[in-house]
Chains A and B, each alone.
Chain A
Amino acid sequence: MEEVHLQTAPADFRFPSTNQTRHCFTRYIEFHRCLAAKGEESGDCEKFAKYYRSLCPVEWIEKWNEQRENGTFPGPL
């Protein structure tokens, strides 16, 4: 099998330490703000989507998606 190209969310200098909770949360918010600013069709936001999916546990993402639908998401979207 040929070499798979391995790539993931890069190390972010805003979050240099062990605790990456805010990193994951920030990437999620960045994605949705990018969507709000540029619209769903443009592919520019896909990069942020990959980052938050790599960093955040699926449970957290599901919970946040639900909160966004209910309008109770506690972040600056």
Chain B
Amino acid sequence: MIVLEWLFLTIAPCDAAEPWQLGSQDAATPIMQGVMDLHHDIFFFLILILVFVSRILVRALWHFHYKKNPIPQRIVHGTTIEILRTIFPSIIPMFIAIPSFVLLYSMDEVVVDPAITIKAIGHQWYRTYEYSDYNSSDEESLTFDSYTIPEDDPELGQSRLLEVDNRVVVPAKTNLRIIVTPADVPHSWAVPSSGVKCDAVPGRSNQTSISVQREGVYYGQCSEIRGTNHASIVVEAVPRKDYGSRVSNQLIPQTNQTGEA
């Protein structure tokens, strides 16, 4: 049991960018899992085509080198091969298109109404988050600003230029609607492990739905950078029963962020 526990503690999900990372971050939402599965589907056909084309190219260069084959052939037609090389490449995109469209349309499908709406408002050099589901008047939203922690300030264990002072707290396993809009210039709200990237265009309010399946802290970056220290987005998913107390404590500064689960 102790051995298993130790093993668990050493396997941390990748929810932030790692140095020299080649693959995607670990999926935290069904959308991101779908994106990764689609990537694997397409990559299979990609490798097939790569190997096939490379083999033909190398064969042609090797066997028809002018020293080995000084007299070229004069074949100009070949009906069978022309039919085959037209049909096969048109079947392959069909195999790619089917899972791609399945994912695309299932992302848009509204199965359940969202439980929470969170507004992410991009300002030139920070983000403001508004939780307005429980106002009884126009002024009462829970609103807070989220600034990137500058390079000199992070505590031991925090990621440089990825941490923020106030994180977006969301309940896990809940359908969320995120409304993204900017206050000034175009921004983009992106969290790779949740499979979210939503552009914020002035005068327009865009919606994106996610449902974070596991608790944790997810790091993202603004994908239309507007200045230094602008980029960080941090989403923290907490168990649903803790959500109420976390949000009501949100405006109290948290002094021990690295110890939080």
Contact residues of A with B, CB < 8 Å? 1-4, 6-11, 16-21, 24, 50, 53-59, 61-62, 65
Contact = CB atoms under 8 A, between A and B. Distances in A.
9 contacts: A1-B244, A20-B179, A50-B133, A54-B132, A55-B117, A57-B119, A57-B130, A58-B141, A59-B121
B110 A53 contact: no
B186 to A, nearest CB: 14
B113 A10 contact: yes
Contact of B115 (A7, A21, A57, A58): A7
Interface size class of B (residues with CB under 8 A): 35 or more
Given A8-B115, A19-B206, A56-B205, A61 B138 contact: yes
A8 B177 contact: yes
Nearest to A61: B138
Interface stretch (B3-11, B49-57, B62-70, B235-243): B235-243
A3 B240 contact: yes
Interface of B: 108, 110, 113-117, 119, 121, 130, 132-133, 135, 138-139, 141, 143, 171, 174, 177, 179, 181, 183, 198, 203-208, 240-245
Given A1-B245, A8-B116, A57-B130, A24 B205 contact: yes
Contact of B114 (A11, A19, A65): A11
A16 B243 CA distance: 28
Contact of B241 (A1, A7, A20, A62): A1
B140 to A, nearest CB: 9
A54 B181 contact: no
Given A6-B174, A59-B121, 17 more contacts: A1-B245, A3-B241, A6-B243, A8-B114, A8-B177, A10-B114, A17-B108, A18-B206, A20-B179, A21-B204, A54-B117, A55-B117, A57-B130, A57-B181, A57-B183, A57-B205, A65-B138
A48 B243 CA distance: 25
B109 to A, nearest CB: 10
Given A9-B117, A53-B141, A58-B132, A16 B110 contact: yes
A41 B212 CA distance: 40
A20 B201 CA distance: 12
Nearest to B111: A11
A1 B203 CA distance: 39
A29 B206 CA distance: 19
A15 to B, nearest CB: 9
A50 B138 CA distance: 9
Nearest to A54: B117
Contacts of A4: 243-244
Pick the 3 closest A-B CB pairs, nearest first: A4-B244, A6-B115, A10-B113
A7 B133 contact: yes
Contacts of A61: 138
Given A3-B241, A55-B179, A58-B130, A20 B141 contact: no
Nearest to B244: A4
B183 A59 contact: yes
Contacts of A9: 117, 177
